[in-house]
Structure 1
Amino acid sequence: MTEHSLESLNDRAIIRTLREKHIDTEHYGIGLAKFREIRESMGLQHTCQQGHTVESIRDAMMDIRQMYPKAGIREVISLLFHEKNMSVSRTIVSSYFAIFEPELVHECKARCLKRRRFWAAGVNDLFAVNQHVKWLRFGLGLHTGIKPFSGHIMWIHVWHSNRNLQLIYHTTLIPSKNSVSDLGTKNFGIANAQTLLRQHYDPDLRGMLQHRWMRFKKIMVFCWVFIPWLQHKLDVYRDCVNNTAKRHDRNKILPHGVPSLIYDSPQDFNALDFKVT
């Protein structure tokens, strides 16, 4: 459990998790009153204690909207918490949208999303990788790895190319039951590395591919200045996504909850873990 994942847990749930997984209760103990005393001494306040209003969050919202112009209420609440250290209620954010962004509220209620089916057996059953080429006209390429069962983002890396095989190998040396990607030479290395690792730990897999296929010039000063800043922003976004519970979806049969908690403790969600140890 990370400090960021505490956003989705109340005091009693945090204490229960600490007792079960982090504290040797035979020698140590912690109660609700003591925990609240420690939390308040660290300046960590609940939403009602911070007492934010539509006006008090306006500057922060304007800043966030520059980077995330289409973020919805749940995502904005999480962004305020992770990037601005502000715990804001859904009612306040909803009121802000109604006052300052009514057109986006109407767009959200249009219900134009199309559902797609996805199936995974458990945590570490497979991970999906892909490259993003839409920024190549700016001299930037993204490469991403996601655990789709838990929704846990493993990495989002930005570089002046997403075809650097050494860079991709460095991030994908994680033995897993399967990896999946679109067909392309930049992903051949991932397929080979995953196959080699799986066959090393399980000789019965020899001869079988452990990967699933789904069918300019650079301004180096710009890259040197901009890429570290952008990578920091991507890392913050990754942590935000990994430590925020998704909206409950009655059509989803995969676990509901905080992705990092599902990934780290699949047994708590009645899920299997296929990690190769």
Structure 2
Amino acid sequence: MRDALTPVKPPESELLIVTGMSGAGRTTAAHALEDLGWYVVEGLPPELITTMMDLVARNPGSVEKLAVVLDVRSRNLFSDMLSALEQVKAAGMTYRLLFLDASDDLLVRRFEQGRRPHPLQGSGRVLDGIVAERDLLQEVKAGAEVVVDTTDLNVHGLARAVTEIFSADGPTQLRLNVMSFGFKYGVPSDANFIADVRFVPNPHWVPELRALTGQDAAVRDFVLVDEGAGEFVDRYLEALYPVLEGYRRENKHYATLAVGCTGGKHRSVAIAEELARRLDQLPHVTVNTSHRDLGRE
């Protein structure tokens, strides 16, 4: 007779466990997963994971993708989760674990801005609660298949990252945003890399090219035919390859490469497009291109 706590393996069902540091974005990640068609359950005690999977199994086809969001309010989170997942594994179900993290400084700011206490701070400071939670979850993080650091992501950036990683095509190991910008409008604060291409001859001073942008063939050819621009693209990519491979090894799934010229209209756009085109040919990499200042006067 089957153990009442051991779930039947539901056909073609997928289980995702979402956990991480309080304030690192679990709710945002949950909303993004819902938008992707996942059935999301928040605040479920770990010991009830097998019960939930059993309910799914009894209704084949009702839930194909189940995401369970766990938080530190369960003091025995690690041991209870391991016990539950061992039973899920014994039933032949596969699962993934998503861990959301962020720097201590950012987490402190988020709690202070929200004017709410950390669930583990007790009579101490917010930072005391964060330190205690990080210690409690260190083994959980070490066992996670996907770790997303949200320190440099706003709400929309995190939603995009989760969407990319858990889309129907499967997890993306590295997502790159190649962005063009104009230095006169300020340097992007969320860029991991910043390249200055103001050394390239400026199409702005060519009358027939001035009204065009780096997305137009005439401007692109003008910019990329320059010997310095071509050499820059080749060498910049050579320098990036080992870094991107290291990001994948270290479970860093999102990075922004910012390319800047004076106004963000000609040179940076053309070179960002060329970098994105060549980076998109790499395995296990998805590239998005954005032009922050294109269209500004």
TM superposition score normalised by structure 2: 0.23
Q: Which one has the bigger strand percentage?
A: 2
Q: Which one has the bigger helix percentage?
A: 1
Q: Which structure would you say has the larger Rg?
A: 2
